[in-house]
Amino acid sequence: MLACMRRLLLLALSIAAAVASASTAQAQYGDAITVSRALVDVRVTDSHGNAIPGLGAADFDVKIDGKPAVVESVTWIDADAPRVFEDDTADEAAGEIDAPFILEPRGRLLVFFIQTDFARNRVRLQGQMNFRHYAEDLIEGLGPNDRVAVFSFDSHLKFRSDFTSDKEAITNAVRQSVRIDFPPPPPTVESPSLAKRLDPKAMRRAASSETGLLLVANALSAIPGPKSLLLMGWGLGVRQGNAVSMRREWTAARRALDASRTSIFSLDTTYADYHDLEIGLQAAAKQTGGFYAKTHEFARGAIERLQRTLAGHYELELRPAETLKPGSRTLVVRVKNQRGLDVLAPSSIIIRN
């Protein structure tokens, strides 16, 4: 009798262990996440800002959350080169031979985010007015398929131009950005368009440039492909004691910029050799894969460097070496055995299912 009871007890314990093991396995399976490959845009330049083509997957060393990631593929995107596709419409029966056909150049999506000082601080306003002429030179140098959207920020975010390749319209929007006004909604444009993705009430409530950047980045997230945001202004962050820190809204803005594949190029227009809030401009550029440049003395050089840098970039297809849950992860991209090159890449990446 006692032996029988022992066998029953052992059987019950075995069943309980099996159920617990199955439950644990099911929970682990439910928690497991298959990570799809992620795309990241990387610019590699020399010391003068010239874009460097010709690199392959073996040339890049990438880490996600400190662990090596697999570079599945590397694609060089030349902003001016035409795209070539295979023409599969040829009629073989009629004796036609398949041949590639050429589309127009790819074109770039650029966003001008212009800070206008609401208090009309002299060094900020003077710097903006001086740089405006160089900004117009930048617009004149755009390719026929480049499209630009223009925003300004003074007391709140203002939408001055939707994506367009009309250089005159872009120039007018940049000139009007110095005004403290209430611009009317921009004319309707074909896709890609930001108009339907922006809430006018939310723009009026945006009390900081960081909040404005968040709204712009969220609007850009629905548009595929890489974008470059040219932040022309006087600063980001807030001074607290002897230090400058980013506003709390920047965390959300940075993640939205990562998700929309948008890099910030900070063009500091303040008419001063140094000012506290340039630290925020530097941080925003570094964290999103762009660069920072002063313009009050070397505006021409800053514009020329920007033009060279935006001439081309790499699109890296990455696969994390291990399963990761969705969210923001640290990213480090380096180029192997290539001294003297600058690698412009975001310092974080959004992992999705």
Task: Tell me the pLDDT tens digit for each residue of 179-222.
Answer: 999 999 999 999 999 999 999 999 999 999 999 999 999 999 99
The CA–CA distances, whole Å, from 277 to 241, 243, 274, 286, 303 equal 13, 10, 9, 15, 21
Interval 236-243 mean pLDDT: 89
Task: Tell me the pLDDT tens digit for each residue of 39-96.
Answer: 999 999 998 899 999 999 999 999 999 999 999 999 999 987 776 555 445 454 555 5
Please write down the long-range contacts of 218-224, taking CB distance under 8 Å and 24 or more positions apart: 218/256, 218/260, 219/194, 220/111, 220/194, 220/260, 220/262, 221/256, 221/259, 221/260, 222/197, 223/109, 223/192, 223/194, 223/260
Query: What's residue 324's pLDDT?
Result: 80
With a cut of 80, say whether residue 334 has pLDDT above it: yes
Task: Tell me the pLDDT tens digit for each residue of 88-135.
Answer: 454 545 555 555 555 556 789 999 999 999 889 899 999 899 998 899
Highest mean pLDDT out of 69-83, 117-131, 284-298, 321-335:
284-298
With a cut of 60, say whether residue 297 has pLDDT above it: yes
Interval 215-234 mean pLDDT: 96
Question: Comparing C-alpha atoms, which of 162, 277, 266, 167 is closest to residue 220?
Answer: 162
Query: What's residue 306's pLDDT?
Result: 96
Interval 314-329 mean pLDDT: 89
Query: What's residue 96's pLDDT?
Result: 52
Q: What is the pTM for the complete model shown? A: 0.84
- Of 348 and 29, more confident: 348
Local structure of 191: helix, strand or coil = coil
Domains of the chain: 33-77+323-353 (no CATH), 109-311 (3.40.50.410)
Interval 295-318 mean pLDDT: 94
Query: What's residue 338's pLDDT?
Result: 80
Query: What's residue 50's pLDDT?
Result: 95
Radius of gyration (Cα) for the chain, nearest Å? 26
Strands ordered across the beta sheet of 227-233? 157-164, 147-153, 109-115, 227-233, 262-268, 292-294
